[in-house]
Amino acid sequence: MRGLSDIRTVGVVGAGTMGNGIAQVAATAGYDVVMRDIERRFVDNGLEAIDSSLSRLDAKDDLDESPDAIEDRITGTTDIGDLADADLVVEAALEDMEVKQDVFEDLEDVTDDDVVLATNTSTLSITTIASAIDREELVVGLHFMNPVPIMTGVEVVTGEKTAPDVTDLAHAFAEDLGKETWESDDKPGFVTNRVLMPWINEGIRAYDEGVASKEDMDKGMKLGTNVPMGPLELADHIGLDICLDASETLHEELGDRYKPAYLLKRKVAAGDLGKKTGKGFYEYD
Ligand SMILES: NC(=O)c1ccc[n+]([C@@H]2O[C@H](COP(=O)([O-])OP(=O)(O)OC[C@H]3O[C@@H](n4cnc5c(N)ncnc54)[C@H](O)[C@@H]3O)[C@@H](O)[C@H]2O)c1
């Protein structure tokens, strides 16, 4: 297996909210990054998001290098074959088992046999993702939090077959990106989403049932429980489709107490996915 000191190039699959954030923090830490998405426009959106995030950090004097120097280490591509030189890959494509298993099959083909393949899945089983390939012991969950450049925590998730030194590498790599880690067994939702998703869904249901306006739902939870965002604004921030996918997985695995809120399903059906589409529970520029 390739250890931390062997890692020069990090592959990132998916250039969306999480993928571009992971690419940014890896490049900021000095790694060369190849970020792959399925269409050029998604790659370009990801590169633009990195550019504006780095400019904001630079304006606050939070970078050791210029944004240009960091961005020079990032290559965007639509060709999975460009991940051939990756020493570690983090997958951050859609929260869909079939998509992830297809991606892992491709990654097994294009990368060297000793390369660790990590997934940023929020709720899907690491063990089931890994079962699609032969390199099961080199698959691990590396669950970054959103927004990746700002949030300091990363959840390391161990699958049934994950080798102990792969788990150790996942912790060490995240720490090298300036993050703090904790570990979860491969159980639905891990530590964070198992507790967060029912909280978000209950906030949506309470709003839908007229308990309070959306502003007061969020204000009540922020001021009343000392969290930085209320459930509706946090759901917009995460992406309502991502919340629904996560809730459906938890519902399927853990039963009715995890049932997704009706209004969450309706908003996703309407294409109002939160911040990333400009509209969710709130509107964004
Ligand atoms: N949004 C969050 O707050 C959050 C937090 C932690 C983990 N996650 C997880 O991270 C993953 C990505 O979530 P996101 O919010 O970035 O989603 P997103 O919708 O913003 O981005 C997903 C990207 O993956 C791309 N994609 C789809 N199939 C692909 C493939 N075969 N190869 C390469 N790219 C592909 C899509 O085109 C899209 O650009 C999901 O598994 C999600 O559960 C999300």
Numbered residues of the known binding site = 14-19, 37, 95, 100, 122, 146, 276
Domains in the chain with CATH codes: 4-185 (3.40.50.720), 193-274 (1.10.1040.10)
103 lines ligand 1 (CB under 6 A): yes
CA atoms within 13 A on the CB side of 116: 29
Asked about 143 being catalytic, the answer comes back as yes
Q: pLDDT tens, 183-208?
A: 999 999 999 999 999 999 999 999 99
Asked about 105 being catalytic, the answer comes back as no
pLDDT of residue 145: 96
Rounded to 5 degrees, what are φ and ψ at 110?
Answer: -90, -25
| Atom from ligand 1 closest to the CA of residue 91 | 11
What is d(CA 188, CA 260) in angstroms, rounded to the nearest whole number? 15
Numbered residues of the known binding site for NAD(+) = 14-19, 37, 95, 100, 122, 146, 276
**149: preceding bond cis by omega (within 30 degrees):** no
Q: Is the pLDDT of residue 285 over 90?
A: no
Q: pLDDT tens, 120-136?
A: 999 999 999 999 999 99
What is d(CA 277, CA 285) in angstroms, rounded to the nearest whole number? 10
Spell out the SS3 assignment of the chain: CCCHHHCCEEEEECCCHHHHHHHHHHHHCCCEEEEECCCHHHHHHHHHHHHHHHHHHHHCCCCCCCHHHHHCCEEEECCHHHHCCCCEEEECCCCCHHHHHHHHHHHHHHCCCCCEEEECCCCCCHHHHHCCCCCHHHEEEEEECCCCCCCCEEEEEECCCCCHHHHHHHHHHHHHCCCEEEEEECCCCCCHHHHHHHHHHHHHHHHHCCCCCHHHHHHHHHHHHCCCCCHHHHHHHHCHHHHHHHHHHHHHHHCHHHCCCHHHHHHHHCCCCEHHHCECCCECC
Catalytic residue among 20, 53, 120, 122: 122
Q: Is the pLDDT of residue 104 over 90?
A: yes
Whether the complex's predicted ipTM surpasses the cut of 0.95? yes
Say if strands 139-144 and 153-158 run parallel, antiparallel, or are unpaired: antiparallel
184 has which bridge partners? Answer: 157
Integer CA distances (angstroms), 96 to 81, 86, 185, 237, 265, in order: 22, 23, 20, 19, 16
| Spatial CB neighbours of 112, under 8 Å, sequence gap ≥ 6 | 2
Q: Is the pLDDT of residue 109 over 90?
A: yes
237 lines ligand 1 (CB under 6 A): no
273 lines ligand 1 (CB under 6 A): no
Look up residue 4 and give its two tokens.
């931390």
Q: pLDDT tens, 31-80?
A: 999 999 999 999 999 999 999 999 999 999 999 999 999 999 999 999 99
Rounded to 5 degrees, what are φ and ψ at 146?
Answer: -105, 130
Q: Are 163 and 1 contacting, i.e. CB atoms less than 8 angstroms apart?
A: yes
Residue 199 amino acid letter: W
239 lines ligand 1 (CB under 6 A): yes
Task: Give residue for tokens 């629904």.
Answer: 244
| Atom from ligand 1 closest to the CA of residue 46 | 39
Q: List the one residue out of 87, 129, 82, 91 whose CA is nearest residue 110.
A: 82
pTM for the model stands at: 0.93
What is d(CA 17, CA 70) in angstroms, rounded to the nearest whole number? 18
Catalytic residue among 143, 171, 237, 251: 143
pLDDT of residue 136: 98
